[in-house]
Structure 1
Amino acid sequence: MISHAGTIPLILLLAAAPSAARANDSTYTDLDTDHCKTLSPEDAEGGGISLQCKGLKDYAVYFKEGDLRQSILYGPAGEAYIDGVFESFEPFNHTARKIEWRLGPDGKPTATIIRWFVENIDPATGEPSPKVEGQVLVVSKVAGEDGMGCVVGYVDALANPEPNVLARQIADTKADGFLCGTDKADFTGVRGPKAADHTHSFPQ
């Protein structure tokens, strides 16, 4: 009688291989707003501006700023989304310069992660203060063939011990099936007092 005991480890190894191949990966780019194409000129009164910046390969980054608040859209977004989407936070805010792109099994970017700095108001002074500044990792869906991209989730980077791990989990599990303008993006993990309310504006 032939023993099959020796084949078990090989079978287990082969069974695990497809799972390993499906693991998502990350790559990084810099957000360089000094070298972008201007889509709409800066509004001297409100300080608003809309830019198309270099992203990952052919995937552009659309950066907006208005009233000292910023918004970012990624990938081949449709004109209605480029013009009409603005997702940010209620207090004044600004983003970091490093973008993490989450790649699918085919190597194409499916989501991004970027750190947002939220300039909360210090109750003692009535002004923004570094003492109460919030930091939030914002996870966004990269626009696909439908031209729709948007924020899919948030992680309070100050209240969670491994915020980047949580953000990658959101990117890998929620971005693909997330319906922009319909599904609601919210916080995952612990949300502390410095993680301000987020805002969303979509085209009609």
Structure 2
Amino acid sequence: MKPFAYAIRFLIPLSMGTGPALANNSAYTDLNTDHCKKLSTGDEPGGGIVLMCKGYRDHPVYYKEGDLRQAILYGKVNAAYIEGTFETFGAFNYTGGKIEWRLDDAGRPVAAIQRWFISNSGAMEPGPAPADTGQVLVISKVAGSDGKGCVAGYVDALSNPEPNRLARQVADTRPAGFVCAADKAVFHGVRGPLATDPTHSFPQR
């Protein structure tokens, strides 16, 4: 699986752009799959890779890959969601190596923002993203006491003038009341032609 081998090394980090401070603060961590714990190796037929990686303090990151597509879960996710949740995009894709965590007043992470690169041509080549590669900031709900984490919104990073700022605004408002597997994650701001359709898979209730 090529993306697993090279994606993290060649990605453009999520920009730490400046701008007026929002209600929440940010903390940043790097996703380095070389130092993650393997939960599934992908050796079995039809299997995918599942890794538990270092996140923010005691909130881990779960990295999943299958069929040249990647999915990420954040926080203290329960076993059913680790096994049965896979939210990604229809086209081949890979994630950026920088995670922005949005923290509440008590310093707890409530949302995570990470950049996805979407291969609209179907060619997964190492190096700088080509012109037909979409870039989407994915805003996710960090798993709380119920153990459920999921995608809560999207921002097209190529079609909005300040995509990181917009993603922070979504992260500070949308995930709090978002119900995983029931509410629909939508695009905020302008959605351009390179931001392909997301896909969602959740554990059976």
With the shorter chain as reference, the TM-score category is 0.7 to 0.9
After superposition, the Cα gap between the structure-2 partners of 1:132 and 1:47, relative to the gap in structure 1 and judged at 3 Å, is farther
Unaligned regions of 5+ residues in structure 1, if any? 1-21
For 1:34, what is the secondary structure of its paired residue? helix
Question: Which residue type is aligned with residue 190 of structure 1?
Answer: V
Structure-2 separation of matches of 1:72 and 1:172:
19
Question: Who is 1:42 aligned against?
Answer: 42
Question: Who is 1:76 aligned against?
Answer: 76
Question: Who is 2:106 aligned against?
Answer: 106
Question: Who is 1:166 aligned against?
Answer: 166
Question: Who is 1:201 aligned against?
Answer: 201
State the aligned residue count. Answer: 180
Question: Which residue type is aligned with residue 94 of structure 2?
Answer: H
Structure number, greater radius of gyration: 1
User: CA contact under 8 A between 1:140 and 1:152: conserved in structure 2?
Assistant: yes
Residue 42 of structure 1 deviates from its aligned partner by: 2.4
Question: Which residue type is aligned with residue 202 of structure 1?
Answer: F
The normalised TM-score by structure 2 is 0.84
Structure-1 separation of matches of 2:167 and 2:134:
16
Question: Who is 2:85 aligned against?
Answer: 85
Higher RCO structure (Cα 8 Å, ≥6 apart): 2
Q: RMSD value over aligned CA atoms?
A: 1.8
For 1:115, what is the secondary structure of its paired residue? strand
Name whichever structure is richer in helix by fraction.
Answer: 1
Unaligned regions of 5+ residues in structure 2, if any? 1-21
User: CA contact under 8 A between 1:47 and 1:65: conserved in structure 2?
Assistant: no
User: CA contact under 8 A between 2:23 and 2:172: conserved in structure 1?
Assistant: no
Residue 167 of structure 1 deviates from its aligned partner by: 0.4
For 1:97, what is the secondary structure of its paired residue? strand
User: CA contact under 8 A between 2:85 and 2:201: conserved in structure 1?
Assistant: yes
Residue 89 of structure 1 deviates from its aligned partner by: 0.2
Q: How does 1:4-19 map to 2 (within 5 A)?
A: none
After superposition, the Cα gap between the structure-2 partners of 1:108 and 1:127, relative to the gap in structure 1 and judged at 3 Å, is closer
After superposition, the Cα gap between the structure-2 partners of 1:79 and 1:47, relative to the gap in structure 1 and judged at 3 Å, is closer
